[in-house]
Chains A and B, each alone.
Chain A
């Protein structure tokens, strides 16, 4: 009886949040899947055929760009976290977190100014190297990856460093006593023991990269495009919701395996909150 009452009160407490989530997230999400199968008022696969015909290159491009950006981000995060696990360096600790809360749109604008052919970076490099001119990196895939890495690294590093730091010193001291170098400890002790957190950092970075719209519009090349940009064009210029939603569903499918791992892992940890 008491337990039943407790279940009841608990449910009532989360009800307002649940209503918001179901009405404004779950419903549009389900709608996006449904709309992707509707073309000219009828149930069909026409939208998907169109997507594969027009956008197959862009889909591959989005996945590759996201994987490259995520790989570089993780490499940097592990490097920074590994270094800070052994040595404290206040400068680096402030620097790696600096881009943390800067909105993606502003990152896009800042990177456009920084990486443009006559931007801040080339301005400095041409002076140091004493050469006439350098090609700009904005509006290229390198600039796009650069912008993603810049904004994703603080967040991924925070997750990885948190895991590294919470690992008991005893493991590290044991390895040190056996004569392991720092980098050997990072690769043979820290990374294997913190694999779940590194996986979470990987998933969140990958999902955030592949679903970002503003950074690709601001710094990405005109063609090929990330699929988010194509979604926007489909809605804004062609009023073509079917194809936009088919692209959306494909983006869900791309992250599906990772998303399920993430949800299971976080649910096992009760939302990532250790009691």
Chain B
């Protein structure tokens, strides 16, 4: 009996080790690289550690300015995406819509088909009207792509708020807009904030649209990271990767309770 439980414990320890190695292992590698000064095989850790690359990123320079650019693009994208999504989400949640099934099809399509050809052709269109190589081109592309998931997150939020509350307000003489503004909107704020953070993180890490529309003059942080990694500048690439990754991991811990799988399809890319 004891022999059996020792075996079981050992198996569990091995399982925990394997899961940790597979899930966390890839992240450990980039953390080590971000502090490495000299790292030759077969040493398991760098021979010399340095803070130089972290300092380089946060001192004035190309990396810092690309991070600031990404931050600006993401903040404006959040503003646009959310302000377009809120009325549409309210309509999907509460109103009868003309040609409803067509509209649903349209607003779900970006999740069901590959997006890369769309970004490539958007870059072409933007090239003709002067939005290629312009941060606003990237912002517009990000607004479009993030609209799909911000819309569904916020629709789900509005749907979860009981209609009775609005109707009660209307019975007391409030207009429909006033009922929305004083009741549904404030109650929906947690969902709207979750949607906004989601759009923000996605935009910060987005590569495809930023690459085709921004290139070669505009370098967002992911594009710079790609260039650094492709040029085997492992330390700089790893530092940028960690800077972009940490907010996502924090957000995941915070949002864990609210995660609804169906609405986060847009993440990644």
Chain A contact residues, CB within 8 Å of chain B: 3, 6-7, 9-11, 13-14, 16-18, 20-22, 24-29, 31-32, 35, 91-92, 95-114, 118-121, 123-124, 126-127, 150-151, 155, 158-159, 162, 200, 203-204, 207-208, 210-214, 217-218, 228, 231, 235-236, 241, 244-245, 247-249, 251-252, 255, 258-259, 262-263, 266-267, 270-273, 275
Contacts A162-B261, A211-B114, A235-B120 given; does A6 touch B96 at CB 8 Å: yes
Can you give 24 A-B contacts (C-beta < 8 A)?
Answer: A10-B98, A13-B87, A17-B84, A24-B122, A28-B122, A29-B117, A29-B121, A95-B19, A103-B222, A104-B269, A105-B207, A109-B229, A121-B25, A123-B44, A158-B259, A158-B264, A208-B269, A213-B207, A214-B208, A214-B269, A248-B114, A271-B107, A273-B93, A273-B155
B256 CB, nearest partner CB in chain A, Å? 7
Q: Are B116 and A213 in contact (CB under 8 A)?
A: yes
Contact B112 A273 (CB under 8 A): no
Residue B179 interfacial (CB < 8 Å): no
Q: Which of B22, B90, B120 has the largest number of chain A CB atoms within 10 A?
A: B120
The distance from the CB of B157 to the nearest CB of chain A, in whole angstroms, is 10
**Which residues 218-239 of B have a CB within 8 angstroms of A?**
222, 225-226, 229-230, 234, 237-238
Q: What is the bound-complex CA distance between A266 and B155, given in angstroms? A: 14
Which residues does chain A contribute within 8 Å of B144, judged by CB atoms?
20-21, 24-25
Q: Enumerate chain B residues within 8 angstroms of A150, measured Cβ to Cβ.
A: 22-23, 26
Q: Which residues of chain B have C-beta atoms less than 8 A from A14's C-beta? A: 87-88, 91-92, 97, 103
Residues in A with CB closer than 8 Å to B222 are 103, 105-106
Q: Chain B interface (Cβ within 8 Å of chain A)? A: 16, 19-30, 32-33, 41-42, 44, 84-85, 87-88, 90-93, 95-98, 101, 103-122, 124-125, 140-141, 143-144, 147, 151-152, 155-156, 159, 201-202, 204-208, 212, 215, 222, 225-226, 229-230, 234, 237-238, 241, 244-245, 248-249, 251-252, 256, 259-265, 267-269
Q: How far does the alpha carbon of A208 sit from the alpha carbon of B266 in the complex, in Å?
A: 9
Asked if A213 meets B256 with Cβ closer than 8 Å, knowing A13-B90, A14-B92, A263-B112, the reply is no
| Contact yes or no, A9 B95, CB < 8 A | yes
CB distance from B213 to the nearest CB of A (A): 11
For the complex of A and B, the 8 pairs showing the least CB-CB separation, nearest first, are: A103-B205, A248-B117, A211-B114, A10-B95, A24-B144, A17-B88, A13-B91, A101-B248
Please name all residues of chain A whose beta carbon is closer than 8 Å to the beta carbon of B96 when the two chains form the complex: 3, 6-7, 10
| Residue pair A103, B113 in contact (C-beta under 8 Å) | no
Asked if B147 and A103 sit within 8 Å, CB to CB, the answer is: no
B256 contacts A32, C-beta separation under 8 Å: no
A93 to chain B, nearest CB (A): 9
Please give the distance in Å from A251's CB to the nearest CB on chain B. Answer: 5
Complex CA gap A163/B121 in Å reads 37
Measured CB to CB, the closest approach of chain A to B10, in angstroms, equals 15
Query: Closest chain B residue to A234 by CB distance?
Result: B120
Query: Helix, strand, loop or mixed for chain A's interface?
Result: helix
* Cα(A184)–Cα(B202), bound, Å: 39
Q: Provided the pairs A24-B140, A271-B152, A272-B262 are in contact, do residues A11 and B98 lie with their beta carbons within 8 angstroms?
A: yes
Question: In the bound complex, do residue A120 and residue B98 qualify as a contact, i.e. CB atoms below 8 Å apart?
Answer: no
Q: Which of A18, A31, A263, A266 contacts B125 (CB 8 A)?
A: A31
Give the CA-CA distance A111 to B238 in the complex, in Å: 12
CB nearest neighbor in B for A116: B29
Set of chain B residues within 8 Å of A204, measured between Cβ atoms: 111, 265
